[in-house]
Structure 1
Amino acid sequence: MTSNFAEKNRQVFEKQSRTYKTDFRKGIETLVKVAQTQRTWVSEVWADTEAGKGKTLKMLEYACGPGHISIALAPFVNRGVGMDISDGMIDEFNKNVREAGISDKMTGIKANLLVNSSPAELSGSEYFDFDIVVVSMALHHFEHPEKALKCLGERLKKGGVMMIVDLVPEHLHDHGLHQMGEVVQTISKHGFSAEEMQKMYVNAGADNGFKYQVIEEPLEFTKDGNTFHKTIFVARGQK
């Protein structure tokens, strides 16, 4: 059964799915740049690296939205799966990978691992033993972030890497929250410190070589005519 919090997330992002690329264009550009430039900091095993040579690399992007991170990293893996709780986002994901000409190796499916970490339809080997699991700007929307990382850690192969991109903690005034509209109701936590992330990686069994790096370039997005600038981080750890 889906929690009220998860259902609110689904409803809000269902509404945003068709306009997400437009509304968050600048932010998406920053996130794509971060994913591509930081990927070898996150892991040395990619299709174009010496460590990845001859390997079949599988990637899972959880809470994938319209798939901009999956598409950005697609050239460096052999197979990718996007999962999201919103039908609209998955429709956009599959449309975007078709338009990018990579639907042969990238597929989006509707799934909520955080309610049932092992649903029958996701019990096949293609949904386990991922070389890399990515969560980009979604962890702060999860009702129980620590449980989320544990579920995702179970999907990683031994030696696989988890990459999280999210917000650095900050103090928000009520006025700033009000400007963000109904999306505030989908946020469980306004950012994660290095210590908090490391604790969650330990709990997920993916803390080998844990690292946390703050990104200098701010993440910019516009919501209801208001422009926001947020500081983000990239974290990595190995199972």
Structure 2
Amino acid sequence: MRPPVNQSATSLVESAYEQIRRRILDNVWPPGHNALEHEVAADLGMSRTPVREALMRLQNEGLLEVIPRHGVRVLPVSGVDMQEIYQVLTALECMAAELLAARKPGVKELAPLVDATKAMGKALKADDLDAWAVADERFHQDLLDLAGNRHLRATVLNYWDRTHRARMFSLRLRPKPVNSTKEHMQMVERLLAGDAEGAARVTRAHRERARHELVAIFERFKLAQM
């Protein structure tokens, strides 16, 4: 018989994980940031046990490195990392678009994608790039949810964490993202038409354009990593 799960301990680990992960993704802890385990625990107001488990989980996801007796270091993302990760994201999101289009979804089912796209347009009119980024992320998450493949979704989100920091870092260094909103609407149109090939084609062009823009920033500012 398996021992009963300590829900309180599980909740503490999950809380530590989410708080540390959010700091990394939002660049509160930038690439190269170092911290000792007991400092992290004190900062979160927790004991070291749940913090240690959360840090190991984040290490497995590639966001940080646990260095015995020296704490943790937030791992940077290089231009090569971005190239390779975007290639993976492009392939998997194209598959998600194909799966969804093949179901021939209706207007009601695709409403979350339309709402997210409208929010992107509204944010651009207000010149609020942070709100635009939130809406853009919501669109891609909803696409994965609607595709209905749990394993595909989990894989994409694992890589997504590593691109999020670079995207937020470069948000104001890239051209204003007017094309993204148009491409999202084109994607919705192909999905409504049940056009799996067209939906994948638009998704691929959308992701490849974003990849080129991000890699260009690495090259223009001669960044080895971010």
Shorter chain as denominator, the TM-score bin is under 0.3
Structure with more contact order per residue of length (Cα contacts < 8 Å, sep ≥ 6): 2
TM-score after normalising by structure 2: 0.25
TM-score after normalising by structure 1: 0.24
